[in-house]
Structure 1
Amino acid sequence: MNATSAPCSELEGLSVSVVTYRPDRAQLATTFASLGHACEALRATRTGLPVHLYLVDNGGLPDVRAALDDLRAQGLSTSILSGHGNVGYGRGHNLAIERATGRYHLVLNPDIDLDRDSLLRAFEFFEAHPDAGLLTPWIGDEAGHQQFLCRRYPTLLDLFVRGFLPASLRGLFGRRLARYEMRDLINERDICWDPPIVSGCFMLFRMSVLEKLHGFDTRYFLYFEDYDLSLRAHDVTRVAYTPAVRVLHHGGGAARKGSAHVRMFMASAYKFFNRFGWKWL
């Protein structure tokens, strides 16, 4: 044991849930590899910290046995939850959350690459700020440019412009989108407290907060479940954007994924605004 390490109990553990539906095997393997390296860095300072990955198979899971074997060799335990069909994103994560033990839970997309020190920095932040219950990181794209995925409360126009207009026309709404994406507050250096909405691609919770929230609202099949959960989280805890925690995101918008995703996006938007209030312009 090195001088900075400390033994950890089961109650201090980390669980991770990844929900997949016909995932890209190479990207999923890359995500798992980055998770393994991040957990190695975390466990180097927290001897015996238990980490458990729940891989939730909503359908079409490829052979990932080699990637899971690598995680187990790095000291993680893993479970595959399958046989339930495509129950949606939030409900899939809830299947893992209801089984999870320990102090922290990470909701993670299968298209995220974690920086090696990301989980270590996240734990350090939580330990220094006991009032924080949900952490969102600095998120970059494949080229390393920052993605502005913290949000103010959206209007219908904001969602249409950002999600469906071509880039050549989005520029006409630049100031509006900058405000929606909180570009006046979100940067690579400064912690931002209590952004109204954070991205579901990486949400690190204290488990006590998730228990109070009862996880995701299962009325959303896909899209807006993270908006809903973010807004509800403010009722029970503080939310922090923490740029020292860094990840890369390989995802895309609904409009670029085809008409079925557009329909799911619109159905979930309707449920979201019906619950939290409609804002048009």
Structure 2
Amino acid sequence: MGFKEFLKDKNNWIIVLLILLFGAMAFGNIGLSVARFTGMEKAYAPTADYAEAAYRGGGYYPQPSGDFAPEIEDRMITKTASLSTEVERERYQQAENTLRSVVTSSDSLILNENVNTHGQERREYKTGSYQIKVETGKYSSVLQQLKNIGEVQSFSERMDDITGQYQDLSVELEAERSRLQRYQQMYEQATEISDKIELSDRIFNQERTIRYYEEMLENLGQRVTYSTINFRMTEKQSEYANVMFVRFSQLVRTIVGSINSLLQFLFAVAPWVIVIGAGALIVKAVKRKRS
């Protein structure tokens, strides 16, 4: 029987409509999935704005120096380390005493410290953060002693070459000093009161600018002379801290969630079952009429 003869039978039209309906539903689901995937792809695509926001949020991206002064052999290197350790339970105070002993014996300085107590009773534990300034010559020794306090959890180290920056500031400082000398000479040669007043203001501003450059150079020199260690110490929590019975509300929430998942599955499958069942019944009915 050809396709034209098949279509002449009115009962066969029902089968064709069911096939078209089934195809339309399947195509619609595929199109919806593609649309959702495309939307997700656009939503999570990295953009320049996202990168800029990440940088402003505290992400570190090394900035190339405009002039790194390659002609200078004695480089000015700053060092910064971040170290995190975990100490045994109920030995935090002993570990902190060891820390202060290391700082004192190395003539280092604790600039900032923050110690917190978390939890209560058997869940209680302490954490502490310390910013330490240590002479660069003693940096490696002090760092190794701090690593021996507890078990090392994380460690990172960063070194920056500020030779070019220091050199540029030195050149700028000399230029500002020369400008100050010219203002002073002009002040001595001025005869008008108005000129002297104007030059006096310029000299005052110039002296302030020079002090600013001097402080910046001194700060850079201290960064080379003293290295920074950001040390974090955490007391180990009790092994039974998080041991507890499941609450009845959590059990109810789990049961309700399972029932919701089952209902969603049933309602998602139900249309397909109805369509397939109806198609099977129609096909059986057609076959019975033919027989």
| TM-score bucket of the superposed structures, by smaller chain | under 0.3
TM-score, with length taken from structure 1: 0.20
| Structure number with larger C-alpha Rg | 2
Higher helix share goes to which structure?
Answer: 2
Greater relative CO, 1 or 2 (CA 8 Å, sep 6+):
2
TM-score, with length taken from structure 2: 0.19
